[in-house]
Amino acid sequence: MHDIICPYCNKAFKIDEAGYADILAQVRDSAFEQQLHERLELAEQDKRNAIELARAKAEAELQKAAAARDAEIQELKSRLEAGELAQKMAVAEAMAQVERERDKLAYDLEQARKEKQADLQLAEARLAQQLQQTVSDKDAEIQTLKARMESIALSQKLAVNEAVGAVEKERDELKSSLMRSELEKQLAEQSLKDKYETQLKDREDMIERLRDMKARLSTKMVGETLEQHCETEFNRIRATAFPRAYFEKDNDARSGSKGDYIFRDTDEGGTEIVSIMFEMKNESDRTATKNRNEDFLKELDKDRQEKGCEYAVLVSMLEPDSELYNTGIVDVFHRYPKMYVVRPQFFIPIITLLRNAALNSLKYKNELALVKAQNIDITNFESELDTFKAAFAKNYDLASRRFQTAIDEIDKSIDHLQKTKEALLGTDRNLRLANDKAQDVTIKRLTRGNPTMAAKFAEINKEQSEDGQ
């Protein structure tokens, strides 16, 4: 037993081990839910921050790459314009050179013609015999000059073609370099995009795993099924509370159906005290179709009768929002006799209540067995049987009232413990706020507006620094 003091009325009340453990589990579950919620919020915040940072970084890199690309394009355009200008200048200069040489040759030819004419006029008679030879020589010279002009024109044309080819080659190289830069930029953008998409996918997978963990931790049964939880809870107290009890899975399916577990308890003489047929039903929050508790009551009553059990209990996590089933132990006698629906936290209490109620009538069962075994007068037997029936009915009525009283007390205890839990949570929040305020207290804040204390602390710090030296 544990003593718990109410933080509001300072009244102490006792609670058994099971109730105390349940309070601790609820407090731990609340703290765990709060921590898990905070971690999920931090994960969501980290995700948003990572997305914003990635977007800002990507935009900065894109702007930087765009600026570099624009500068490179401008430089290439300048170089291309310079190359075209140089090409035009080279062509113009070559044409000018050719024209100068052509004019010079024309001038020389004209001078030669004039000289020839003068020589003919001055020595026509004297040089009549040599005229043909002179004309031939001049024609040869003219042919030589024409050949020279053609050679010079061809050289200039080759030089122009070579210059144009060099400019075109440089232009093609610049275009290729620009295309490579564009391709490298696209590859870098795709790599950056793939990198951040992978990081976002990993973060979303982590959040999904945390959400899935939260869904699977909707009860305190971490890593267990409902059947495993009930079996573990029973085995923990079997040796002390139910040393002669039988609690095993129902493996007999000869009738076409079977329950989950059968509980039977006997006294030292082997007389059965109570027998219960159990059915466990759990349903995840993500299940597409939601079942109801009433869907399983008919089959459970059939299993109880076929297996010869006195009571039937459905331990259910279905209909989690139902106020009826969340209040505690619910009897469904109006539908099926001796049948209850409980939540997992009332699994051990329902066994205890039914067993204690059956213990009150056990002595009557023993007396009935003794009477049946004896050879007595039929009149006395009927009289004692009537007496036994009346006493049994009386005790059964008393046990039923006490059972209902116990249920009411359990409800009151649950309500009181819920208020105690809320008070403890409020105390925890106040302590956390007080701790945060205490952590924010510094010497600087304490001495603000107090020059005397500030001077004292400065003097102490100065002495400590001098001692350290």
Q: Is residue 69 part of a domain?
A: no
Q: Where are the beta strands (DSSP E) in 258-366?
A: 261-266, 272-281, 311-316, 330-331, 339-342
pLDDT at 388: 74
Instruction: List pLDDT tens digits, range 64-79.
Output: 877 887 887 788 778 7
Q: Is residue 305 part of a domain?
A: yes
Instruction: List pLDDT tens digits, range 332-387.
Output: 999 999 999 999 999 999 999 999 888 877 777 677 767 666 655 556 666 777 77
92-114 burial by CB neighbour count: b if 16+ within 10 A, else e? Answer: eebeeebeeeeeebeeeeeeeee
Domain that holds residue 353: 224-366
Q: How many separate domains does the chain show?
A: 1
**Distances, alpha carbon 14 to alpha carbons 3, 349, 425, in Å:** 5, 17, 20
pLDDT at 279: 93
Say if pTM beats, i.e. exceeds, 0.85: no
- Which tokens hold the place of 144? 């030589």
Q: Is residue 113 part of a domain?
A: no
Distance CA 281, CA 293 (A): 8
Q: Is residue 30 part of a domain?
A: no
Instruction: List pLDDT tens digits, range 385-436.
Output: 777 777 777 877 787 788 788 778 888 878 887 887 787 777 777 777 777 7
Pairing of the two strands 261-266 and 246-249: antiparallel
Q: Is residue 335 part of a domain?
A: yes
According to DSSP H, which parts of 307-377 are helical?
323-326, 347-360, 362-373
Q: What is the CATH number of the domain that holds 283?
A: 3.40.1350
SS3 state of residue 324? helix
Cβ atoms 254, 288 nearer than 8 A: no
Distance CA 366, CA 272 (A): 10
User: Does residue 296 surpass a pLDDT of 80?
Assistant: yes
